[in-house]
Structures are given as C-alpha cells and as structure tokens.
Structure 1
Amino acid sequence: MIDQMTNRDTEATTPDFVVIDVETACSRVSSICQVGIVGFKDGREIFDYETLLDPRDEFNVFNTRIHGIAAHHVVGKPSFSDIHAVVHGHLSGRTTVAHSYFDKGALAAACRIHDRAMIETTWLDSVRVAKRAWPDLESHRLGVLARYLGIEHRHHDALSDARAAGWVIVKAIDHTGLSLADWLAPPRVAGPAPRAAADGPLRGERVAILGEPRDGKLAHLAASLGARVMTGVGSSTTMLVVAGREPFGRATRASAAFLKAEELRREGTPLRILPSDALRTIAARA
C-alpha cells in the first residue's frame, strides 16, 4: 500500500462523480487508517488517490484482521488533518459515492476529531443504486457485486473498494439507462398493481413480474389481458413474466423469485415462466 496520486487526464478535468472508501483502525469511526478516492468522468476513471494514515488512535486486532493494516504500517504516515485539504479538494461541491454511508460518517467524525471543516458534498449510496439496478441479487455487498459485474476487486483495500463502487455506478447507469441525476433523485415508490380486466386470454392467471415494478408496463399489459398481478411468487402464482429475453441472465436465474418459481414447478405446480416478449405476443394475438 503506497501513498499515491495518479491523474490520467489534466488536473483541470472535472469528474462527474468521485468515490471514497476508508478503512478504520478500531471501532471508533474517526480512526481512519487508509483513504482511497477515485474520480470518474464519462464512464471512465480519470484519477485515483490513496494513502495510509496514522489514525492517532489504537489498532484493534479485529480491524487489522479485516484490512491487514497494523500500527507498524502507519509509522511516519500523515494524519487525517494533514490530508484534509486533499480530500476536501476532491470531494467538496461534487457528487461523492460511497458503498453504504459508513464512509460518510467516518469522514464527518474525523473532521470533528481533528478540528477540520466539514466537507460539503452530495452523497450517493452505491448500495441503494445496486439494489434498484439489480433488485433480484440475493446480496448487494461490494464483493458480490464485483464478482457478478466482472469488476476486479481486492476487498477491504480502500482504493480497490472505491474503484469497485465507482464501477457499480457506471454499470448501473449503463444497465438501466438512468443518468447520474436520476440516481440522485429520490426513488419512485411503486404504486398498487393494476386491476385485472374483466376478460382476456389471461383471465384467471395469477401473474408475478420479475425485473419491473408491480405498476410497470408489463404489469399493466398482463392486467389488460385479464391476469391478476401478484406482488411476488407464491403457491397460487400461475405465471412468472421476466422482463427481458431468453436465455435469461445469471442474475435473473439466481433471483429469489425465479428460484421460487422453479421450486414450485419441481413440486408439480403448473407455473409457466415466460420472457416479456412472450407476453407481448399473447397481447398481439388477443
């Protein structure tokens, strides 16, 4: 772990967002012993910064086991107060991503402890982004996301964690078509499922939708064909409609709804699993 600052473009280039990750020496969140920051613009990295810090606090064995940083690694390293201006320069007035808000709290606590000005930035939680972008993954921990999305990652290294969280944002934007501004806006709360039409080719079907909200386009299409739209897959579900085409991707096949549907099918429940194109074909023939 070497203190470093790398600019891949000119320093004048303004990132679309920056990502920060910190490691702490003990249970006190102010005890930052490593900082990693990565800047992203137009879907690519434009700079990174990493340094070890002397937390001016004790090192707990539990924390050291997690990230591998011990007291002897930070001898002669700067304290947080020494690098506050650098962190402030990268984050202040920008959109700052962190994977959960632990890093936000640690940064604020370190500013208080070291008597430095609070850093004013707009925070975006990449956990929340990942849950919206890939709602059917069983876990949205950074390591799980990195494996699923093919991101190179060394867990509990501040620079690697920051880089991975940044790529989660880039890939979520690409996957959903939502812009950074969209992700910063409060998430839309799904409304009630649409009411089933009185008649139609799917009358009597109880349909669950995977990959779209219960009040989305597929749900409205299924309801217009007479289906009752369910909030999830259960023993009475007769059809699971998956947003997307076959063959279904790994995230779809690993989702709780898909696994539950397959389990019910193995148990003899007459449940069909259809891609969204199949539902549109039924509608076109109606």
Structure 2
Amino acid sequence: MRPALAPPPSSDPLADATQPDFVVVDVETACSRVSSICQIGIVGFRNGVEIFEYETLVDPLDEFSSFNTRIHGISCDHVVGQPSFAQIHATVSEHLTRRITVAHSYFDKGALAAACRVHDRSSIETTWLDSVRVAKRAWPDLPSHRLNVLSKYLGVRHRHHDALSDARAAGMVIVRAMEHTGIDLVGWLAPATPRSAPAPKPAADGPLSGHRIAILGSRRDGPLAYRLAKAGARVVASVGITTTLLVVSNEQPFGRFYHASPAYRRAEELRRSGSVIDIILEDELAHRLGGYSTPLDAEPR
C-alpha cells in the first residue's frame, strides 16, 4: 500500500513540524523520450531524517526500449493497469510544489517538464537542487559522483535504477553533504562562486595538436582538460563551429542520458550541417591515445 500524501505546503513551513525541509524525486523512463516516465519515487526529509515516501509504476503510454528495460528491469508487462502520468500529476505536484526538490542531475527535472507537456498538464513549480553539484563541492576528490559510487562511499544502502531507492540515496547525499561541510540548504541553493582560472595552454606537439576540444561534464581547467592540453589540444569553453572534438567526461552528470545534454545536441546539429566534429567518450579517447603512440581517429557516434 502506498503511503499517504505528505502534508501540503503551507505559507509558513517552519510553523508545521510535519513539513519536509526538502523532497527528492527520481524517475525511470521507458525509452529515449524523456517524457516516457514508467516509475517515479519521491522521498521527503526533515532534520536529516526521512519522513515520507511515495512510489508508483506509471504507464508511459509509450514504447519500452530493450536498452532501458535492461537498465531498470521495467517492461510493458509491469505497467499494465498502472496509472498514466496524467493520472498521478496532481499527486506529484502536491509533493513538489513550492518546496525544495532535489534530483541527482537535472534529467528528472527535464523528464517531469516533458511529461507535463506531453500529457497536457500544468508545469510543476518548485525550487530545484542538483545533488550532483552538491556532491562535487562536498567531495571534490572522489573519482566519480554517480549515485551508486556516492552511495557506496557514504555507506548508504542503495538499489541502483529503482526510482524510490535512487531518490532516497540522493536525499542522503544532501544530508551527508550538509553534515560534512556545514553548508545548509540555503547555502547549497546559492550559486557556487565562479572560478576564473583559464584553460591550460596546449603543448607545442602531441597527438591532439590542431584539435579544438570541448568537454561535456568537466571544467575546462580541470584534470581532464590538463591531460588534453598536454597532448596538444586547445580546450574551448563550448561546442562551436570550430570545435573538432567533443569529449564526454567520465564525470558528466547526465549518466546514460548524456545524449540529451545541450553540448551533445549542439555537436550533433553541427555534424548534420557539415561540420567536422567527432564525439568520443573519455575512456575510449584514452585507449586510442595509448601512451601517445596511436594517432587519434575518433569515429562519429
């Protein structure tokens, strides 16, 4: 049986001890269309403790791709008789509206917005907080800030790609980050102080000489940028008409949905218009460079 709704937001949340400090949402999708929500999980936290949960399978009224089903295990058979997004919209909106809503990357934000459009429902007005950004500031030395990696590091029980478990784990990332840094929710909602460090200068020679490389999901003054510059590349701030290569960083926050990121879509648009720009994963690029003995020959994706 699904838990009852959390109390609706009041005009003065501090006056009601049952109000969550923040809620966390996670969705799974049936196919490459981000509107195809087939499961949603929502968890509310107050004073670092979970106070409610909501989870349901959803009939996306869309096809299921084998790729997505392999990831989360949900198929068309599982959603027979389950509500559509239009039918649960009011419940989801009541949980999120006028609250601080956490999601691990903004994929979930985009999926909810797309589902609202597709099912002709009003958009959900909430204040979003990306737990990926929080984790990167709280634990900058971790090799990855993906949710399964963070859960293991923090000792949080977690079943990856289950919407309720993912939401609960992302909520614990926020709780632990506040404990670890002393930064409260208001502090995490404030934009990070921008850094003005320039991109590293490219080496005079190397297997990437002549390339102008944009990085998806990593700073252009970060470790990956320095490795690319050492190989002769000029690291640029964004994908443009002179960009020759887009490298998808291991640290990118979009997970398996990096194809939906603005940088990736811009690179694809440029390729369709005739620009010579390749797209390659960081690990594959490192393999192809192989100690700088193999010339770069990235295949378009």
Match of 1:95 in 2: 100
Q: C-alpha deviations, 1:14-40, integer Å up to 9, x for none?
A: 110000000000000000000000000
Match of 2:249 in 1: none
Picking from 181, 188, 191, the partner of 2:193 is 188
What does residue range 201-280 of structure 1 map to in structure 2 within 5 Å? none
| Secondary structure at 1:96 match in 2 | strand
How far 1:4 moved relative to its partner? 2.0
Match of 2:154 in 1: 149
Indicate the RMSD between aligned Cα atoms, in angstroms. Answer: 2.0
Q: C-alpha deviations, 1:226-278, integer Å up to 9, x for none?
A: xxxxx99x9xxxxxxxxxxxxxxxxxxxxxxxxxxxxxxxxxxxxxxxxxxxx
Picking from 49, 57, 68, the partner of 1:52 is 57
AA partner of residue 79 (structure 2): V
How far 1:188 moved relative to its partner? 1.6
Q: How far apart in 2 are the matches of 1:104 and 1:178?
A: 23
Picking from 48, 72, 78, the partner of 1:67 is 72
AA partner of residue 71 (structure 1): C
What does residue range 53-132 of structure 1 map to in structure 2 within 5 Å? 53-132=58-137
How far 1:5 moved relative to its partner? 2.1
Match of 2:230 in 1: none
What does residue range 18-29 of structure 1 map to in structure 2 within 5 Å? 18-29=23-34
Match of 1:14 in 2: 19
Match of 2:173 in 1: 168
How far 1:189 moved relative to its partner? 2.8
How far 1:10 moved relative to its partner? 7.0
Q: How far apart in 2 are the matches of 1:19 and 1:184?
A: 14
Q: How far apart in 1 are the matches of 2:76 and 2:196?
A: 52
Which structure: larger Rg?
1
Q: How far apart in 1 are the matches of 2:171 and 2:4?
A: 16
Match of 2:144 in 1: 139
| Secondary structure at 1:115 match in 2 | coil
| Secondary structure at 1:5 match in 2 | coil
Identity between Structure 1 and Structure 2 (%): 70
Q: Does 1:4 align with 2:9?
A: no
TM-score of the superposed pair, with normalisation by structure 1: 0.64
Match of 1:195 in 2: none
AA partner of residue 84 (structure 2): S
| Secondary structure at 1:130 match in 2 | helix
- The answer (yes or no) to whether the contact 2:7–2:19 under 8 Å persists in 1 is no
How far 1:6 moved relative to its partner? 5.6
Q: Would the alpha carbon gap of residues 58 and 191 (structure 1) be closer, same or farther in structure 2, given more than 3 Å must change?
A: closer
Unmatched tracts of structure 1, length 5 or more? 193-230, 235-286
Q: How far apart in 1 are the matches of 2:189 and 2:7?
A: 27
Q: How far apart in 2 are the matches of 1:76 and 1:114?
A: 18
| Secondary structure at 1:128 match in 2 | helix
Q: How far apart in 1 are the matches of 2:156 and 2:193?
A: 28
- The answer (yes or no) to whether the contact 2:136–2:145 under 8 Å persists in 1 is yes
AA partner of residue 161 (structure 1): D
TM-score of the superposed pair, with normalisation by structure 2: 0.61
| Secondary structure at 1:18 match in 2 | strand
Picking from 32, 41, 62, the partner of 1:36 is 41
Q: How far apart in 2 are the matches of 1:132 and 1:139?
A: 12
Structure 1 runs of 4+ aligned residues shifted over 3 Å read 9-12
Unmatched tracts of structure 2, length 5 or more? 9-15, 198-221, 227-301
Q: How far apart in 1 are the matches of 2:91 and 2:194?
A: 38
